[in-house]
Amino acid sequence: MSVDVRLVTEPASGAAPSSEEPADPTAVRAAAADLARALPEGRTSLARPGLSGERLTAYVEGLVLGGYRYSLVRPEPQRTVEIAAADDPAALDRGLRAARATVWARDLANTPAATKTPAWLADRARRDLEPAGVSVEVRDEQWLAEHGFGGTLAVGGGAGSPPRLVEAGWRPRRAAGGPHVVLVGKGITFDTGGLNLKRGQNMRPMKTDMSGGAVVLATLRAVAEAKLPIRVTALVPAAENSFGGGSYRPGDVVRHVGGRTSEITNTDAEGRIVLADALAYAVARLQPAVLVDVATLTGAMKTALGERTGGLFATTDELAGQLVAAGAQAGEPLWRMPLVPDYEAQLASDVADANNAPGNPGAITAALFLRHFTGGLPWAHLDIAGPARSGEDDGILAKGATGFGARLLLRWLESLA
């Protein structure tokens, strides 16, 4: 279930929202989300809301996201909101793009894992992105083996559905000579923990462990729909971390793209293993100006920052400042975390370049592990383990996957373009 928002030119029969609408865009989103949940099925007309710019964008986002509910019950209730004579149609369109990107990210992450194999995710990316002018290449397990994706193949080795790499690109002519941004999203379509098996209650939400991958694909679709004059590539290493005769084991050593090796000390620290391959591939083959990865990576980050704020690691102050500002504008807050050199020693391994589970502080050591695959480029790592999921309907959030990160990344790319 969702809310479809449309702009109409004729006067609306419905009443206008209160003239005491909150000025802060975050509060506007929350108020509009509450309104969306109270709307009846069918068509509702609203008189001009008296909002423009950021507040109108936030209002539209709140209507769409507040009315979201993932369900496989058919037929789904349909709600349409018509906003008459809006003062700023460009702001309304901007809000719709951002909200629809978030809805798509939520839908992908909420899809049950029995359906959402790596191949299914790749097919959905192709089906939904190519009509928007995005090129999509899907790399199968044979290609992954030929190109050194030892980490991705190891993580996906125990599943019945083999891994994939989704490489999606937006390259408009107007972007010639501009920066090439590469977004990398963790695409673990289900995470049992592998041989280091999770407890049942911790496994239950793991269909959403590919939220980072969903977010970067959704961001790219919004970039293409907006026709932003900036080159953007999204990479999603997709695998199911299951267990079976082909599972990777504690004590194994995997070789990543480019040759760096990782000793597996915990098969449940799999996200960084697939991200490492994709980051190294981006550096070696795509010539990016900046790298950003997004992942539900560590429980440690959820413990540190809770369920509403994403963790941010960045190698430059400029990049960190841009992303924090974009998050504040989008209502998706980030908190910068330190890349503390003192913890680098914990990555040591007797048999490989690093071990994949260096221990506490878990979010920091995970980021330090990933930094070795970024080639010294400007790089940011968004650990969204907390805000990627919600246990209840609250404000613009709906129970399940939240799509956190799509709107902030879109804001950031708009600022670069």
Q: Active-site residue numbers?
A: 198, 272
Task: Enumerate residues 6+ apart whose C-beta is below 8 A from 280.
Answer: 256, 257, 258, 260, 373, 375
Q: Classify residue 397 by its DSSP letter.
A: B
Q: Which residue has the tokens 């790592």?
A: 381
Distance (Å, whole) CA 118 – CA 135: 18
Q: Which residue has the tokens 């029969």?
A: 13
Structural tokens at position 170: 């937006």
| φ and ψ at residue 164, rounded to 5 degrees | -140, 160
Distance (Å, whole) CA 352 – CA 273: 13
89-125: burial string, b at 16+ Cβ within 10 Å, e else: eebbbbbbbbbbbbbbbbbbbbbebeebbbbbbbebb
Residues 178/161, Cβ–Cβ less than 8 Å:
no
Distance (Å, whole) CA 113 – CA 143: 24
Distance (Å, whole) CA 7 – CA 280: 45
Is residue 180 exposed (0-12), middle (13-18) or buried (19+ Cβ within 10 Å)?
middle
Distance (Å, whole) CA 259 – CA 255: 6
CA dihedral 170, 376, 413, 214 (to 10 degrees): 70
Residues 242/158, Cβ–Cβ less than 8 Å:
yes
Cross-strand partners of 355: 263
